Amino acid sequence: MIRVAIADDQSLVRMGLRVLLDSEDDIELVGEAADGDEAVALVRAERPDVVLMDVRMPGKDGLTALREIAADPEAAGTRVIVVTTFELDEYVFDALRFGAAGFLVKDSEPAEVLQAVRVVAEGQSLLSPSVTRRVVASFTADRARRSRPHPELGRLTEREREVLALVGEGLSNDEIAERLVLSPATARTHVSRAMVKLHARDRAQLVVFAYQSGLVR
């Protein structure tokens, strides 16, 4: 059973998500929050697997709540999907940098929301190649954003740096393998080693590190 929490200041949005989630046999709604403080308290009390977190909420916003949740060792099992009003929301890049497992736009189809919950609950990141290129690249266009190379970047081998750059471009492991003429298993190994060496929580954070380190042109 996937345990899910909702954090959104709009009661109508919460109601719609509640009805959607309650209709699924493998998903259990464990609570709702109307602002960031309530969201953090809810996560600490219920330890949900996934939180659907609105960014713009009164008081403590979703981004601040996300940072607190990501910094809490006892909430390590909770993954946050940031919900934005617009696909190119100015907060998306920071949300990924602070530990979001991915993001959804509020006008997503119900099936997309359910798929997002299940994908993130399995430990994957909700970042399709097209989303990675369109959204993350948009917010790293300013070179000042990618002038902070990761302090552990030097630990990567040349091949791992190549792989990291391709992750930043939004390529899947199979696409990386094809580009570099590797087996898919070898590509997965390089991605995993890069994650360990850079202390990345997930693939989404690897994308951010690739851009910040200037590996994606």
Domain covering 2-126, topology: Rossmann fold (3.40.50)
Provide the token pair at 27: 């998903």
> What's the mean per-residue pLDDT of the chain?
86
Q: What is the mean pLDDT of residues 150-173?
A: 90
- 144-212 under CATH 3.40.1000.10, yes or no: no
Position 129 pLDDT exceeds 60: no
**For residues 136 and 72, which has the higher predicted lDDT (pLDDT)?**
72
pLDDT per residue as tens digits for the range 81-114: 988 776 555 677 778 778 888 888 888 889 989 9
Helix (H) or strand (E) holding 54: strand 50-54
Position 140 pLDDT exceeds 70: no
pLDDT per residue as tens digits for the range 165-187: 998 887 888 899 999 999 999 99
Long-range contacts of 172-176 (CB under 8 A, 24+ apart): 172/129, 175/129
Q: Provide the strand spans (E) within 63-169.
A: 79-84, 102-105
CA–CA distance, 60 with 87 (Å, rounded to integer): 22
- Which 8-state DSSP code applies to residue 102? E
What SS3 class is residue 7?
A: strand
Contacts (Cβ under 8 Å, ≥6 apart) of 131: 170
Residue spans of the domains in the chain: they are 2-126, 144-212
CA–CA distance, 36 with 8 (Å, rounded to integer): 9
Q: What is the mean pLDDT of residues 41-68?
A: 93
pTM: 0.71
Give rounded-to-5 percent helix, strand, coil for the chain.
55, 15, 35
Residue 211 pLDDT grade (very low, low, confident, very high; cuts 50, 70, 90): confident
